[in-house]
A and B are shown apart, each in its own frame.
Chain A
Amino acid sequence: MGVLSLDHVTKRFGKVVAVDDLSFDVAEGEVFGFLGGNGAGKTTSLRMVLDIIRPTSGRIEVLGRPPGRENAPAIGFLPEERGLYRQMTAIDTITYFGRLKGMTASDARKEGEALLDRFGLAANSGTTVDKLSKGMAQKVQLATAIVNRPRLLILDEPFSGLDPVNQGLLEEEIRRVSVAGATVVFSTHVMQHAERLCQKLLLLARGRKKFEGTLEQAREELPARLSVVARSSPMSLKGVESAEPRGSADDGWQEWDVRLAPGVRPADLLEHCTATGVPLRRFEERQASLHDVFVELVGRAEAQQ
Chain B
Amino acid sequence: MTNILLVAAREFRQITAMRSFWFTLLILPLALAIGPLSAKFLNDDDTDRVMIVDHSGAGEAHSIEQRLSLDYERDLLSELSRHVQRYHLERADPAALWAQHDRWYSPADVASFRAAGGLDAALAKIKRVAPPDIPDFDPPERDFDLVATPAALVSVPEGQLDSALKPYLSPASKDRKPIDEVLLVPADFASTGAARLWARGQPDSTFVATLQDVLTRDLRTGFLKAHGLSPDAAEQASTIAPTLAISVPPPGGGARESMLVRSILPLAAAYLLMMSLILSGSWMLQGTVEERSNKLLETVLACVSPNELMYGKLLGTVAVGLSMVVAWVACGAIAGYATHGAIADMIRPAIAPLTSPVTIAALIYLFIVGYVAISVIFLAIGSMSDSMREAQGYLMPVMFLILIPITLLMQAIVGGSQSVAIEVITWVPIWTPFAVLARLGIGIPTWEVLATGLLLAIFTIVELILLGRVFRSSLLAQGQRPNLREVVARMRAAG
Give chain A's interface residues, CB within 8 Å of chain B: 47, 50-53, 69, 72, 75, 77-79, 81-88, 96-97, 99-101, 141, 144
Contact = CB atoms under 8 A, between A and B. Distances in A.
Given A52-B302, A86-B290, A96 B10 contact: yes
Instruction: Tell me what chain B mostly uses at the interface: helix, strand, loop, or mixed.
Output: helix
A9 B408 CA distance: 57
Most chain A CB within 10 A, of B295, B298, B302, B476, is at: B302
11 contacts: A53-B476, A69-B303, A72-B302, A72-B303, A81-B295, A83-B293, A83-B294, A83-B295, A84-B296, A85-B10, A85-B14
Given A96-B10, A100-B3, A52 B303 contact: no
Would you list the 3 A-B pairs with minimal beta carbon distance, nearest first? A83-B294, A81-B295, A100-B303
Contacts of B296: 83-85
Interface of B: 3, 6, 10, 14, 17-18, 290-291, 293-296, 298-305, 308, 476
Contact of B476 (A52, A75, A82, A85): A52
B304 A69 contact: yes
A86 B298 CA distance: 16
Contacts of B294: 83-86
Contacts of A72: 302-304
A50 B299 CA distance: 10
Contacts of B10: 85, 88, 96
Given A87-B17, A96-B6, A100-B6, A82 B295 contact: yes
Contacts of B303: 69, 72, 97, 100-101
A141 B17 CA distance: 22
A52 B298 contact: yes
A69 B305 contact: yes
A83 B287 CA distance: 13
Contacts of B302: 50, 52, 72, 75, 77, 79
B347 to A, nearest CB: 40
A97 B299 CA distance: 9
Contacts of B17: 87
Contacts of A77: 298-299, 302
Given A51-B305, A83-B294, A97-B303, 4 more contacts: A47-B298, A52-B302, A83-B295, A99-B6
A69 B290 CA distance: 23
Nearest to A105: B6
Nearest to B293: A83
B462 to A, nearest CB: 24
A53 B308 CA distance: 15
A264 to B, nearest CB: 47
Nearest to B3: A100
Contacts of A101: 303
A16 to B, nearest CB: 13
Contacts of A69: 3, 303-305, 308
A144 B299 contact: yes
A83 to B, nearest CB: 3
A93 B296 CA distance: 12
Contacts of B291: 83, 85
